Amino acid sequence: MQKKTRIVVTGMGAITPFGQGITSFWENLIAGKTAVRMTSDEQLRKWAPVTAEAATFSAEDFMERKLIRKTDRFSQMALAATAEALSDAGWKSREELNGDYDGNRVGIAMGCAFGGVQTLDEGMKRLAGGAAHAGPRLVPKSIPNAAAATIARQWGIHGPVITYSTACASSANAIGEASYWLRLGEADMVIAGGTECLFSPVILAGLRSAGALAVSGPEDDPGAWSRPFDAGRAGMVMGEGAGILILETYDHAVRRGAKIYAEFSGYGATNDAYHETAPDPTGFSAALAMTRALHQADIDPLQIDYVNAHATATQAGDAAESIALHEVFGNSLNRIPVSSIKGAVGHLLGAAAAVESIACIKALETETLPPTINCRQKDASAPADIVPDLSRHHRKIGFALSNSFGFGGQNGVLIWKNAASL
């Protein structure tokens, strides 16, 4: 492996609960706003009273009706985010992309925990209503790799196209594993990220039964139900969306004159081997993943200037992550700002790491730290500085670390380096 092969981000795209595009996401995030609202669907509201829906996203704004009929919402969001990311990187069409890159040398690494659950719901409803069949498109629309496969067809991509399904760490693993393709010379450019829409009665009911969802909070303020690091936190709020990054080798990005947003610096992956849903309370493997990412980046913990925490606002999860952070950073954690954006956009599950990586990259670019909102009484075990309530100017952010921890004990950690130092 060419360990020193440098990898950079040259394009970004997102669909989030704040709307379409990177600009909408970032401006609302640093303004301290929340996209968490009362759940619009009455049936879903029984299981999840509040959610962070991408309410303004309409597939019709991004694709033809024929393609909409062939795809589930999670694929549609991925397609829209990919189009933005590729356009941002300089390619507005399949022909333009193929002018710079051989489609055989382009890959797609997508993170997704479940796939097209809304299509599955529709099929079950049809059968329950007496229909003789569920429809020929049910399987190709609902399989977890449908989003990546559709993107490949739309853009003429013939390289490695792989979907990673590792719960909340899915898109962290997708981005991290994509880096190996570039370093091994298996691809010259990779579309990497994640997508998720789990607004399904059975999924939300299952998460509620597992004790993961926030089911109570201020009735007059649904936007305050997601409370990362708060002593009285009561569970996560489900969100939906997609985040896409364009990863290229540094040398090729420079040759084609691309704008470079950040450098991919390090990746660590581990498993708790502890419990199917609960994190290891010692934080051992979460800390190990951070240590591995630091080792790959070849930097000291003291060089991290910002941590984007996984912090979903569950009692056990936030506590275990706090312990892991203290283990890795020691007393220096007191000077490192740590924040979770899940108070603002909820938990995007398989898309969370990709969207949160975008937040890290924007923090590096703008010297602005996104806040942790809704933490009214900080848990005693939480990091000292969680950037409470309001965004903050922070000069010279050199490295940002992003944590993603999920069911099944899956841990994925990414480190991003400021492009100004390239």
For the annotated catalytic residues, the residue numbers are: 168, 310, 347
Query: Contact, 306 vs 368, CB < 8 A?
Result: no
| CA dist., res. 382 & res. 184, Å (int) | 39
| CA dist., res. 354 & res. 196, Å (int) | 11
**Residues in contact with 67: Cβ distance below 8 Å, sequence separation at least 6, in sequence order:** 79, 150, 154
The sign of the CA dihedral 74, 81, 228, 349 is positive
276-297 in b/e burial notation, b at 16+ Cβ within 10 A? ebbbbeebbbbbbbbbbbbebb
Cα–Cα–Cα angle for 66, 68, 73, rounded to 5 degrees: 165
Q: Which two tokens stand for residue 268?
A: 């660590």
The sign of the CA dihedral 327, 328, 331, 336 is negative
Neighbours of 364 (CB within 10 A): 27
Query: In 161-213, which residue ranges form alpha helices assigned H by DSSP?
Result: 170-184, 201-209
